[in-house]
Amino acid sequence: MLKVGLVGLGWWGKHIIRTINGSSKLTLVRAVEVNLPEGNNIAAEHGISVSSNFDDLLNDDEVQVVILATPHSLHEKQIARVASAGKHVFCEKPLGLTKKSAERSVARCDRANVMLGVGHERRFEPALQEIKKMVQTNRLGTIMQVEANFSHDILAKMPKGDWRTTNENAPAAGMTAMGIHLSDAFIWMFGEIDEVFAQTAQRVAEQENGDVVMAQVRFKSGALGYLNATMVTPHFMRFQVFGSEGWVEARDSAHPEYGGVTTLTFCKKGDIPKSCTMATSNTVLDNLENFADAITGQDKYIHTQEEMIENIALLEAVTQSAVSGKLIKV
């Protein structure tokens, strides 16, 4: 059992606690939360130590792994401090807000000889893993395009000034909240992206970063892609790949936090669409435990450092395109 320290006990931090409670490979022993009244209540409920001082966690020799569930603009500095303390670090997405920031974080962990993990759990969804197999085994033929949408209204009513509503921490509307999961899946399945054109809109939510984002991409392979994330609509998740020999779609019934089922539909050229349902797994736990296994040498981590950097390079390009209205090279 690797002993874990958690930084941040907000919405997602609470979900991390619930997730680790079901792990056979990780155990939570300490937390850091600036809002101590709430943090104390959570800590008492789960039997962990808590303080408002980051150094308390870094100086705790019992802690082997640190999970960061903190505002995005803090990630690089916090990763550097954790790595310097000789602890493995798992950073909730996004790893950074610029390519250079992601590169520095990766390099810092390499120099400290610690593992770096990232909170992109959609790679562990059974339906997306099945789609990746179809792509790899050429069942779909030449890949023409991919379309994906990840939308929900869980964060639609953030209070004014909350860090999730600011361009500093969460540029390009829902890109850092939901869209970046889709771009990670794009890179995982189809490789590097060459260029992107993105737009955002502010339709309902009273927040400076907007409430809807769309991005069109061209992969270096020549295939095209489109992703969308809307922050003020009921839950919707779809991932669809079109090839010269067929298409496949995964459509989810519920946000990953709540489980549910996925409908996988495959249509082969000359045939009719055929569907099946697949139970979702606890992908957040799957990702954390894969990271734990990589630390102990029992498995290879599903996310490569190159993919981590590439995804942040795309995020930066999406942000630049949405502001400038221009096509941006990644």
Distances (CA, A) of 187 to 219, 307, 308, 311: 9, 7, 9, 7
- What integer is the mean pLDDT of 240-251? 98
Higher per-residue pLDDT: 187 or 37: 187
Q: DSSP string spanning 45-113? A: HHT-EEES-HHHHHT-TT--EEEE-S-GGGHHHHHHHHHHTT-EEEEPSPS-SSHHHHHHHHHHHHHHT
Report the share of the chain in percent with pLDDT over 70. 100
Domains and CATH numbers, the chain: 2-118 (3.40.50.720), 122-329 (3.30.360.10)
Q: Determine how many CB atoms are found less than 10 A away from the CB of residue 44.
A: 10
Q: Is the pLDDT of residue 257 over 80?
A: no
| Structure confidence by residue, pLDDT tens digits, 106-125 | 999 999 999 999 999 999 99
- What integer is the mean pLDDT of 286-300? 98
Q: Is the pLDDT of residue 36 over 80?
A: no
Give the DSSP H/E element, type plus range, for residue 238.
strand 236-243
- What integer is the mean pLDDT of 240-245? 98
**Would you say 266 and 248 are in contact if contact means Cβ atoms under 8 Å apart?**
yes
- What integer is the mean pLDDT of 148-158? 92
- In 191-302, where does DSSP find H-type helix? 283-295
* pLDDT at residue 4, as a whole number: 98
Q: Is the pLDDT of residue 172 over 80?
A: yes
**Would you say 74 and 14 are in contact if contact means Cβ atoms under 8 Å apart?**
no
Q: State how far the Cα of 242 lies from the Cα of 225, in Å rounded to an integer.
A: 10
Reported confidence tier of residue 283, pLDDT bands at 50, 70, 90: very high
Q: Determine how many CB atoms are found less than 10 A away from the CB of residue 297.
A: 7
| Structure confidence by residue, pLDDT tens digits, 225-234 | 999 999 999 9
Query: Does the pTM of the predicted model rise above 0.75?
Result: yes
Q: What average pLDDT does the chain have?
A: 95
Reported confidence tier of residue 24, pLDDT bands at 50, 70, 90: very high
**Spacing of C-alpha 83 from chain mean position:** 21
Reported confidence tier of residue 137, pLDDT bands at 50, 70, 90: very high
Distances (CA, A) of 106 to 53, 80, 95, 229: 25, 9, 9, 27
Q: Is the pLDDT of residue 40 over 80?
A: no
* 251 half-sphere exposure, CB direction, 13 A CA radius: 8
